[in-house]
């Protein structure tokens, strides 16, 4: 066990008076292994965050605009990890966390425009040290409640002093509108323990549809501004076509 985790003698003595010494050492060993694993996940988040910052920098240099509005990272807390393992019928151990939980490391990339979400996802997927494990496109196929976001579960190598480890992480890419809907919906769910009633669900879905329309309109506007379309007014038909173009029939099975 790493020296820095062994408490000094007086603490060990006090713990030993209450608990069996083997038990104390066992608990310390487990705590250390857990802390080490969490630190690896933190490294994976740093690697991925840097990759997105590099893409943002390159894009800003080439096109004089930044596709990323902000990046948030979070490490899943031990209580949520435990709940998820129990819910899925797995034991609570360091090995089990690594094997069964894909979203201990979470990176949320908030993009300026809808097209940026896909541009950034494609740019990341092309990198030869990134392996995509699963992809869920809740933008093309929103969840029933209206939730939209592009989710990638990826693996990324981290390089330690003595070894290379491949860690999993969940990346959520979404626009500002998608993010504000998701965080407000999350807050409302948090406030209301029970499920929403039908009217509330319909209202939430309506707000999600409005946010989807906002994204489509902003994307159209961006295209016009950056492609220099001048002198022509944006018509309602343009906007409807833009919205329809984002979600073709083939996307909806």
Smallest gap from residue 37 Cβ to ligand 0O2 (A): 17
Return the number of the residue (43 or 182) whose C-beta is nearest ligand 0O2.
182
The answer to whether residues 24 and 148 touch, using CB atoms and an 8 Å cutoff, is no
Smallest gap from residue 181 Cβ to ligand 0O2 (A): 8
Q: Which two tokens stand for residue 115?
A: 């097209």
Q: Is 18 exposed, middle or buried (0-12, 13-18, 19+ CB in 10 A)?
A: exposed
Q: Which of residues 67-96 bind ligand 0O2 (CB under 6 A)?
A: 76
Which residue sits closest to ligand 0O2, CB atoms considered? 147
With binding defined as CB under 6 A, does residue 136 bind ligand 0O2?
Answer: yes
Return the number of the residue (51 or 76) whose C-beta is nearest ligand 0O2.
76
With binding defined as CB under 6 A, does residue 201 bind ligand 0O2?
Answer: no
Q: What's the CA gap between 131 and 241, in Å, rounded?
A: 35
Return the number of the residue (102 or 112) whose C-beta is nearest ligand 0O2.
102
Q: Which residues contact 174 (CB under 8 A, 6 or more apart)?
A: 108, 109, 110, 111, 117, 139, 148, 149, 150, 182
Q: What's the CA gap between 9 and 194, in Å, rounded?
A: 50
With binding defined as CB under 6 A, does residue 186 bind ligand 0O2?
Answer: yes
Residues forming the site for ligand 0O2 (CB under 6 A):
76, 102-103, 106, 136, 143, 145, 147, 151, 182, 185-186
């Amino acid at each position: 066990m790493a020296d820095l985790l062994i408490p000094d003698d007086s603490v060990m003595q006090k713990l030993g008076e209450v608990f069996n010494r083997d038990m104390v050492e066992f608990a310390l060993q487990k705590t250390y292994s857990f802390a080490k694993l969490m630190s690896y996940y933190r490294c994976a988040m740093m690697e991925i965050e840097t990759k997105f910052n590099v893409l943002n920098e390159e894009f800003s240099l080439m096109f004089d605009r930044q596709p990323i509005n902000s990046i948030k990272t979070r490490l899943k807390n031990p209580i949520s990890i435990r709940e998820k393992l129990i819910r899925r019928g797995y034991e609570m151990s360091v090995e089990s966390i690594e094997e069964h939980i894909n979203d201990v490391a979470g990176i949320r990339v908030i993009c300026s425009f809808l097209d940026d979400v896909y541009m950034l996802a494609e740019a990341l997927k092309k990198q030869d040290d990134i392996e995509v494990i699963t992809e869920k496109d809740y933008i093309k196929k929103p969840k029933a409640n209206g939730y939209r976001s592009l989710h990638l579960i990826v693996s990324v190598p981290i390089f330690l002093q003595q070894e290379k480890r491949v860690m999993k992480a969940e990346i959520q890419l979404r626009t500002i509108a998608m993010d504000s809907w998701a965080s407000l919906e999350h807050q409302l769910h948090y406030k209301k323990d029970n499920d929403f009633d039908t009217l509330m669900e319909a209202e939430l879905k309506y707000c999600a549809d409005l946010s989807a329309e906002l994204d489509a309109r902003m994307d159209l506007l961006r295209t016009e501004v950056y492609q220099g379309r001048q002198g022509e007014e944006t018509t309602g038909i343009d906007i409807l076509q833009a919205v329809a173009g984002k979600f073709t029939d083939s996307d909806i099975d």
